[in-house]
Amino acid sequence: MNKRKLTLVLVFSLVLFGISIVAQAQTDVTLTARTHDQLYIDYFMSRADEFDALHPELNITYDFQVDSQIADNTVNQLAAGEQIPDLVGIERGWFGRLMKDGAIAQYFLDLSPVIGDRVDEYSEGRWSIYSYQGEIYGIESSLTPSVLYYQPALFEAAGVEVPSTWEEVLNVTGPALAANGSAFTFATNDPTWFQMYYEQRGGQIFDESGTFVMGEEANRELAIEVATYIQQAVQAGIFMPVLGGDVWSGATIPTAYTDGSLASTVMPDWWSSCCL
């Protein structure tokens, strides 16, 4: 086991989570953790020297796992009554699976008491996506805002500005770009994208208490509106279909963006360095 390599997690768990281990000073401790991406290990490695300097009295060994199927494996282990690692890297897209039947409250620690007044140091929206029934169960590792990557030359050639409303995309900008052989953005069967459009339109999946409310009439109407909008955009060549894992790990979107058949796309800030 590479103790130096696995020391990274402690920066996240003790500094950000505020876990107290004073009573265990001078004691050998093994803390297990699981994440989906090697980049998290790399990040914590960059903080290892700083952490060692702050805590020379600690002798902690980390059993750090990289698991590409972390969501399924974690949920399945909980369902089978098996033990999971002490720390689990939860991507916001599957946090909802842990809300089912209150699993998140049963198996995970409410971090609200240890976060305390540091709650104001984070964007409120970063807390809400890892909250259940008023309690916080995760701390975001980055802001990861979603932004519009776009190619000015393609918009200029089509004689249009970057749109600011859905209606402009469907009725003005999109058709002009499509006439020049460029889709405005893409559509996919990954539910993340539908959810972004849906919530941007004001729809709710869960209310503040964690109750499923998407089936209520007002939310149902918004869901139908969003689905119709996406369908119309695809039919008009304004949205380019990209399915399944191709959205995140395939070559379709970067290639289309490079050759000009995709004029713009909404992606997180890290997309430019990992995929474009």
Residues 193 and 225 in one domain: yes
pLDDT given for residue 16 in this prediction? 40
pLDDT of 61 > 50? The answer is yes
What is the pLDDT of the chain when averaged over all its residues? 85
Angle at 117 between CA 116 and CA 119, to 5 degrees: 85
- CATH of residue 61's domain is 3.40.190.10
Does 155 share its domain with 108?
A: no
Say which residue the tokens 């749109």 belong to: 163
Give residue 140's pLDDT. Answer: 86
Q: 56 or 184: which carries more pLDDT confidence?
A: 184
Q: Are residues 87 and 202 in the same domain?
A: no
Domain housing 57: 3-136
Between CA 93 and CA 219 the distance in angstroms is 20
In a domain, 141, yes or no: no
For position 220, what pLDDT does the model report?
Answer: 97
Domain count for the chain, please give it.
2
pLDDT in tens, 34-56: 888 888 878 877 877 787 787 77
121 vs 103: CA distance, rounded Å: 27
CA torsion, ordered 84, 87, 91, 95, to nearest 10 deg: 60
pLDDT greater than 70 at residue 22? no
Q: Which of 107, 136, 165 marks a domain boundary? A: 136
Whether residue 121 lies inside any domain: the answer is yes
Q: Quick one: 122 and 200 in the same domain?
A: no
Can you tell me the mean pLDDT for 154-183?
97
- pLDDT tier for residue 32 given thresholds of 50, 70 and 90: confident
Same domain, 176 and 120: no
Same domain, 156 and 268: yes
262, part of any domain: yes
pLDDT at 9: 34
pLDDT value at residue 116 = 93
Select from 69, 103, 136 the last residue of a domain. 136
The mean per-residue pLDDT over the stretch 168-187 comes to 97
Is residue 209 over pLDDT 70? yes
| pLDDT(82) > 90 | yes
179 and 131, same domain (yes or no)? no
Q: Indicate if 51 and 116 belong to the same structural domain.
A: yes
Strand residues in the chain grouped as ranges (E): 28-35, 59-66, 87-88, 131-132, 135-136, 146-150, 185-187, 239-241, 264-268
- From 95, 115, 136, the end of a domain falls on 136
Query: Is 263 found in the same domain as 165?
Result: yes
Instruction: Please answer whether residues 230 and 197 qualify as being in contact, where contact means their C-beta atoms are separated by less than 8 angstroms.
Output: yes
Please check the confidence at residue 17 and state whether its pLDDT lies above 80: no
* pLDDT at 13 exceeding the cut of 70: no
Average pLDDT over residues 220-232: 97
Q: Is residue 201 part of a domain?
A: yes
10 and 109 together in one domain = yes
- Check whether residue 267 and residue 157 sit in a common domain: yes
Q: What is the pLDDT of residues 93-142, one digit of tens each?
A: 888 899 888 899 999 999 999 999 999 988 888 888 899 999 999 988 87
Please indicate, yes or no, whether residues 269 and 171 belong to a single structural domain of this protein. yes
